Structure 1
Amino acid sequence: MTRRIRHRLLFLAAAGVFASAAPAAFAQAVTESLEPYQMLRSLQFVQDTVVMGDHSAGEMQRFMLSELDRKFRVADPRVFDDPRNVDAALIYAMSGGNPATLELLVSKDVSGNFDNRVADVLRKYLNGRGLLVANTLAAMTPEYRSQRVGPYLALVAGNVMVAKEPKRALEFYDWARLMAPGTIVEEAALRRSIAIAIDVKMPDKAFLFARRYARRFIHSPYASQFADLFVGLVVKHYGEISQEDLEGALDIMDDDRAREIYLRIARQATINGKGELAQLAAERARQRGGDPGAASGNVARLYSGVASLSQGDVADALKVMGDVPSDQLSPEDRALRAAAQQVAEEVMRPPSAAPDQAVQGQDSLEQDKRSSLPNQISAEETSAVKGNETTGSKAGVVPASDSANKLDPAFTTFVEKSRSNLSAIDDLLREEK
């Protein structure tokens, strides 16, 4: 019987007990016949099933953790003469188990079955003091690479080293992935590697990790964290990340997942003023959306319309945005549309008077004033004339700066109001980021 079949049978047996809400005594009778390491294998199988997309196994994961905790607490110390059960206790603690249970087991270990170095490191890590043992953990982890606890220790070492040496943390995550492919360990290591590579400004490596994650774990319950990282990575580094790279990463996803991520990219790119990326992502979202009249299709049209504002198609963009039904937009998207519509309307609104006409009107007014007072020359005018004679310029020529100041007050008000509106819109868009 293969290991996978044994795991499946153990899983089904436990599931039958849990689903039928059997009495606690019967549930304990089933698990009492199993060694701790056998129960741990069932837990690992359940956890791997969850990250591969079977979210219904989440309840079973909690059940198995609870049963393992009870099993360890009542176990005879001689059970840990078997190294497999010692490893099971350590892996249980690193897999979401109760830290106090590991503390209890180590305190009862009079036979020296537990490696004190590992136990001490894990106690501190699980109690939030991992940085105190970072160097010890980093030095110790290579010794266990070929052991059952190796992938888990490598994952913990990566978690601890992130704050001190992020690039070294990536090395530990690489080892964790290589030693436990297709498991919850690989999923966690890949997801955290993406975040680190982004932080240390390694977009190429981050995108490589992202492609692997999308291929293997896109249905994990933690995939929403991946989506946040992926969208930020693409929007910030588009150009270094090509259109072909982006499409290749999302082509392997199902339509629902790909459409969701394309829409998020389109929205973030729109807010960040990256019109080309926003239009590309909106178009791809429509293509992966099936029914063009569906909500996702209308949201994609909105982002495409907003993005086209910067390309001069203001009237068309305004119509596209106005045609999108409000009831198919989130409050955030309605706010984005309102801001974009205000920009478009301000751009299309004509000023109350053309600048040339305003200047001519001011010149005529000055001429009228001079005609009505022919013999009254002010001291300022006398100085201006003398200045012109000194510099050799022709009298009566008004400097360009003076002409610029003689604008129609209505036009000046329009400009100032437009600037104020655009500043308010910029503030709104920054809040949306």
Structure 2
Amino acid sequence: MRAALCSVLLLVGVLPLAPAVAAQEHGQQPYELVRELQKYQDDAALKGTRARKEQSERIARVAMQLTQFGPQAWTDPRNVRAAVIYVLSGGDPRILRNLTASGKELGIDERLVKGALAYSERRDAEAAEQFEGIDVEALDRTVGGHVALVRALLVIKDDQAKAASLLDRARVISPGTIVEESALRRETILIAKMGQLDRFDALSAQYLRRFGSSIFVGTFARQFAQEIVAHKYADDEKRLAKLDAALRELPDVPRIEASLAIAEEAIAIANVELVRFAGRIAAIDPKQYPQEATRMRLFEAAALIVTDNFDEASRALWSIDRSKLGAHEEALLDAALDVAKDISRAPSLAQAAAVAEANDKPADADNAPPVVSSAQQAIARVDQLLNEGAQ
């Protein structure tokens, strides 16, 4: 759950207290610092416009600044709301802890402050109780989306319908932000697990269209593909056709991400047709996306190696450029090549049957010639590797 906090604004640390900072000298208020940080993080997460090192430095600097403001700054409700946003986004809870300990009038609903503090300190039951009576629609929009998102995370295990409703409200309240991205990503997968597949189709297409450049699109694509496989889309022609149409409308990057994820999930359950489907949808230009094209060729070849297209698949495997693969894909290639080698040495099924008949034994796995057993073991290694990757 706490990983979700970092996906909202990626606030990851607070530096020790230091002398007065430039922000105060130039008259900036806490709400202005948090607003700038939100915009900065929205661009970084949704458009991939900032390097991680640059983000970390900016985050640490703002975090340090927020700890330096004196009591007078926190008499402004805008600053208190900013502190709530900051803490709900994974920031240092000391700011809210000091505010609640001061006993002063905060100018906003104190349940927001107490709930945010409890959540940041992992007192989830107390946080849920504090947030329960708050109408997120009545809150200032700068904080309403954050509260709706956190409330959803607090109830998602016990009340999926309520969590889905809160995620829906979070994304409506905070359009075009990392809050909307996080809420839509989570709602889409939650709706699939609830079996609402038509809505899952609509929300997943919306996510991939709106947030195809997000740094989280890869995470979403894997979860999306897992639901496609789990709900057996390959067995439903109408649903597969809808998926085909939706993916083909996407820009290259989200279409390729989703297609590769589907192919990898499909090969883990030995669904050759779904792997082929993903390859057709991806339509990867190898000149523009050489690594992605190589990965897809690997998945397709690995799926085909145990079919009648063995020769074609074997040639494809041997032609793959290892330099364009990650460590997991290279291990998969090695395992698939082992399968190809063993199968190429194995006698035909007719030969195996003849040997078994001559020995008056059934031609089953227990009586298979050693080279056949070796091939079976190699295939099992591929299956294991793919399942590990899927997890």
Q: Quick check: TM above 0.5?
A: yes
For 1:176-187, list aligned pairs within 5 A.
176-187=170-181
1:245 aligned residue: 243
Match of 1:89, SS state, is helix
Match of 1:101, SS state, is helix
For 1:4-153, list aligned pairs within 5 A.
28=22, 32-56=26-50, 61-63=55-57, 65-142=59-136, 144-145=138-139, 147-153=141-147
Give 2:376's match in structure 1, choosing from 422, 426, 430. 422
Match of 1:334, SS state, is helix
1:368 aligned residue: none
1:393 aligned residue: none
For 1:229-378, list aligned pairs within 5 A.
229-237=223-231, 238-239=233-234, 240=236, 241-249=239-247, 251-254=249-252, 256-285=253-282, 287-291=283-287, 294-309=290-305, 311-325=307-321, 328-329=324-325, 330-341=329-340, 344-345=343-344, 346=346, 348=348, 351=351, 354=354, 358=358
Match of 1:306, SS state, is helix
Distance in 2 (CA, whole Å) between partners of 1:302 and 1:59 is 33
Q: TM-score, normalised by structure 2?
A: 0.78
1:392 aligned residue: none
1:14 aligned residue: none
Match of 1:86, SS state, is helix
Alignment CA distance shift 1:336-1:233 (3 Å)? farther
Alignment CA distance shift 1:41-1:412 (3 Å)? closer
Larger relative contact order, structure 1 or 2 (CA cutoff 8 Å, min sep 6): 2
Match of 1:242, SS state, is helix
- Counterpart residue identity of residue 210, structure 2: R
1:223 aligned residue: 217
Give the aligned length.
Answer: 362
- Counterpart residue identity of residue 426, structure 1: A
Distance in 2 (CA, whole Å) between partners of 1:50 and 1:354 is 65
Deviation for aligned residue 1:186: 0.3
**Structure 2 gap segments, 5+ residues each:** 1-17
Report which stretch shifted further, 415-424 or 98-107.
415-424
Deviation for aligned residue 1:201: 3.5
Task: Tell me if structure 1 keeps the 8 A contact 2:356–2:362.
Answer: no
Pick the structure with greater CA Rg: 1
Distance in 1 (CA, whole Å) between partners of 2:314 and 2:23 is 69
Task: Tell me if structure 2 keeps the 8 A contact 1:306–1:321.
Answer: yes
Task: Tell me if structure 2 keeps the 8 A contact 1:265–1:278.
Answer: yes
Report which stretch shifted further, 176-185 or 25-34.
25-34
Alignment CA distance shift 1:412-1:152 (3 Å)? closer
**Structure 1 gap segments, 5+ residues each:** 1-23, 360-405
2:10 aligned residue: none
Distance in 2 (CA, whole Å) between partners of 1:292 and 1:84 is 47
Report which stretch shifted further, 84-93 or 63-72.
63-72
Distance in 2 (CA, whole Å) between partners of 1:204 and 1:31 is 54
Task: Tell me if structure 2 keeps the 8 A contact 1:266–1:303.
Answer: yes
Deviation for aligned residue 1:423: 5.1
- Counterpart residue identity of residue 333, structure 1: L
